[in-house]
Amino acid sequence: MTTNRRKFLQGTAALGAASLGGFPHIWSKNGMLARAANGQIKVGVLFSLTGTTAIIEESLNKATIMAIEEINAAGGINGMEIVPVVEDPASDPATFAEKARKLVLSDKCVSVFGSYTSASRKAVLPVFEKQNNLYWYPTLYEGRECSKNVIYTGAVPNQQQDDFVPWLLENFGKRWYLIGSNYIYPKEENNYCKKLLAELGGEVVAEEYVPLGHSEFSSVINKLKAEKPDVIFSTVVGDSVVALHRQYHAAGLDPETMPMASLTTSENEVAAMGGAAAAGHFTSAPYFMVWDSPENQKFVEAYRSRWGGDKVTHFVSEPSYFQIYLFKQAVEKLAASDIDPNTIREAVKGEQFQAPQGLVKVEPENLHTWLRPKIGRCKSDGQFEILKQSADWLEPDPYKAYSNQSCTAEGLKEV
């Protein structure tokens, strides 16, 4: 009883303080917004812990939780504690939307960190736009989205390809075979790839999509043998990546003359296909586990001591980690009474952070992130050898494949 009463009293006191400090807010339309209170900053963590994509999303959840723990252990944000509310959307887009609604409306989180697949992001988007809350999305994705309610910390097509495609053209040749899983992400990546190839004088010998989860690649391999492309540009995802690499290897094809250049093969997939099948193929990403920087060394060590010595970090778990620090820096600039999704969005614009992958920055116009992609060649021990880092910091442009559209702070502009 006493605790209840004490809580009740504290609650009334807080309410009194809030209405004193924030009286005008009640009448402004921001009055309905979720906001931080009682020395606590509530945030949602929305990664699947069960279901088909739990394999990857679990690692994103772990990286997120670890960053929150680190920040809290170091004294929180201006003395306030970050309180994560963890929900399990079970790899199901509808559940994603439902849990997002709960986190925003009933838990009153000021931000939610979540999603791996585009399908789940698309499912929660209306919730965040309607409630004017903020969603932080760590995955590389196909671009072509412009929302003031999402902070995107993964790479978009131009960031993964601008450096990668010319390099491959120069080192391996002009005849490209595009292969992807049959859904939106590979198609958008290939749209951009075809645009680049047209500009740079490359040639697309085939563009092919296999069903999601497809695991029988003997026909594809037969076509590769007949076509003999210089580069196989692969956006096959999930367990199909593993099957494709293993069957390519078993068929005796040679990565020296016909390498696969992938945007989706990370340390995770390599562990499942084995180093022998992965060796010699290329991936472009802003982050690799072997990236040599003091921040990354610290990140990998902390991750392994927190979650187990055999765990790998990869190009989606790293953004899951650093985006919490971007959130921290944004909130740090705000007064304790003024922490809500709107102020956080404004505060995070242009914010920079020395992440494990290097310096990153949130682009004020489209809320995507400036990154420096790297080209890695896989070795037989299952790790990548980094051959090259892009000379420039690459600006995120989610509409680069569509020259008549661009994403601005005011929304999508048709040019």
Binding site for other proteins (CB under 8 A): 52, 54-55, 58, 182, 208-211, 213-216, 218-223, 225-226, 239, 242-243, 246-247, 249-252, 268-269, 271-274, 276
Fill in the amino acid letter for 233. F
Q: Exposure pattern of 145-155 as b/e (b: 16+ CB <10 Å)?
A: bbbbbbbbbbb
The b/e string for 224-260 (b: 16+ C-beta within 10 A; e otherwise) is beeeebbbbbbbbbbbbbbbbbbbbbeeebebeebbb
Q: How far is the CB of 177 from other proteins (least distance, A)?
A: 12
β-partners of residue 405 are 414
Closer to other proteins by Cβ: residue 250 or 387: 250
- In contact, 234 and 161? CB cutoff 8 Å: no
Question: What is the C-alpha separation between 229 and 173, in angstroms, rounded?
Answer: 8
Q: How many residues does the chain have?
A: 415
- Rank residues 184 and 272 by Cβ distance to other proteins and give the closer one: 272
Using CB atoms within 10 A of its CB, is residue 135 exposed (0-12), middle (13-18) or buried (19+)? buried
In whole angstroms, give the CA distance from residue 180 to residue 195: 17
DSSP 369-408: EEB--EEEEE-TTS-EEEEEE-SSPBPP-TTTT-TTEEEE
- Closer to other proteins by CB, 232 or 242: give it: 242
If residue 85 lies in a helix (H) or strand (E), which one and from where to where? strand 81-87
- Shortest CB 173 distance to other proteins, Å: 22
Residue with smaller CB distance to other proteins, 78 or 247: 247
If the CB atoms of residues 226 and 335 are measured against other proteins, the closer one turns out to be: 226
> To the nearest whole angstrom, how small is the minimum distance from the Cβ of residue 219 to other proteins?
3
Q: Are 178 and 205 in contact (CB under 8 A)?
A: no
Nearer to other proteins, 52 or 406 (CB): 52
Of the pair 215, 329, the CB lying nearest other proteins is at: 215
Beta carbon of residue 198, minimum distance to other proteins (angstroms, whole number):
22
Minimum CB separation of residue 247 from other proteins in Å reads 6
The distance of closest approach from Cβ of residue 242 to other proteins in the complex, given in angstroms and rounded to an integer, is 4
- Minimum distance, C-beta of residue 274 to other proteins, in the bound complex (Å): 5
